[in-house]
Amino acid sequence: MNITNFLVVIPTSIETNRLMSKISIDNQTGCWNWTGYIDAGGYGRIMYRNHQESAHRVFYAWKVKKLPRGKSKYIPQLDHLCNNRQCCNPEHLELVSLKENILRGNSPSAKHARQTHCKNGHLLPKEFNYFKPNRKGVRICKICAYEHERSPERKIAQRKARLIRENGPRRKELLKNHREQEKARRNKLKHLAKTP
Ligand SMILES: [Zn+2]
Ligand SMILES: [Zn+2]
């Protein structure tokens, strides 16, 4: 796919002064913090040649190279290497694919992707080993899954559930639900066992 729409920034001396007057350099981090308007997402905003722009994008387009506009999996996005959204230092910015950008962020899926060990300290598999019904891949710790399966708590819960099922008034319905649940659980474990 060809990208046809770019943000190009070649400022005049007046525009250069205006851009730099909104920057406060943090000597500790090297971040060029935007002191102008900040949007709800925490990014600096600026009017440049009658266009609302993200401040960090304007600086990158000015100091490094023109920037593709728009959002799709084909269009690389500008990522803050310093994780500071107000920062406009071109050296703290990098063009990456949208997927890479999401994985680098702080969303639960991003954190999960970076995680190397489960909450009990076992090494997690590098690849997804279980796919949810909505097709999102997740990694499950096989040691924890195995131990949970054999834990006394689970055994007690199973016994209790069996008693209710076999003697309760909603016997038929509960038995049916139980069979379906067990089938799903077995399939999940089968899937886990198959992957190395
Ligand atoms: Zn920075
Ligand atoms: Zn574990």
Judge whether 186 lies within some domain: yes
What pLDDT, on a 0 to 100 scale, did the predictor assign at position 134?
A: 67
Sign of the four-CA dihedral 74, 78, 80, 85: negative
Query: Where is pLDDT greater, at 32 or 182?
Result: 32
Starting from the CA of residue 60, give the closest ligand: 1
C-alpha 81 to ligand 1 mean position (Å): 7
Judge whether 1 lies within some domain: no
∠ CA 11-39-77, nearest 5°, is 65
Q: Which amino acid is at 135?
A: R
Report CA 177 to chain centroid distance, whole Å: 34
Q: Give the domain extent around 184.
A: 115-194
* Single residue among 109, 134, 163 that ends a domain in this structure: 109
Judge whether 184 lies within some domain: yes
C-alpha 5 to ligand 1 mean position (Å): 26
Contacts of 152 by beta carbon, 8 Å cutoff, 6+ apart:
none
Query: Where is pLDDT greater, at 139 or 53?
Result: 53
In the numeric block, the tokens 């007046």 are attached to: 14
C-alpha 140 to ligand 2 mean position (Å): 8
Residues 121 and 172 in one domain: yes
pTM: 0.54
* Single residue among 64, 92, 109 that ends a domain in this structure: 109
Q: pLDDT tens digits, residue range 30-82?
A: 999 999 999 999 999 999 999 999 999 999 999 999 999 887 777 888 888 88
Pairwise CA distance, residues 162 & 156, whole Å: 10
* DSSP-assigned beta bridge partners for residue 96: 77
Starting from the CA of residue 117, give the closest ligand: 2
Backbone angles phi, psi at 2, to 5 degrees: -90, 135
Torsion of CA 36, 39, 42, 48, to 10 degrees: -50
Based on the structure, what is the number of domains in the chain? 2
Residues 98 and 161 in one domain: no
- Altogether, the residues listed in the chain come to a count of 196
C-alpha 153 to ligand 1 mean position (Å): 49
* Single residue among 109, 138, 160 that ends a domain in this structure: 109
Residues 181 and 99 in one domain: no
Starting from the CA of residue 91, give the closest ligand: 1
C-alpha 153 to ligand 2 mean position (Å): 17
Most confident among 1-5, 18-22, 95-99, 187-191 (mean pLDDT) = 18-22
C-alpha 158 to ligand 2 mean position (Å): 22
Judge whether 130 lies within some domain: yes
Residues 105 and 21 in one domain: yes
Pairwise CA distance, residues 101 & 110, whole Å: 9
CATH number of the domain encompassing residue 70? 3.90.75
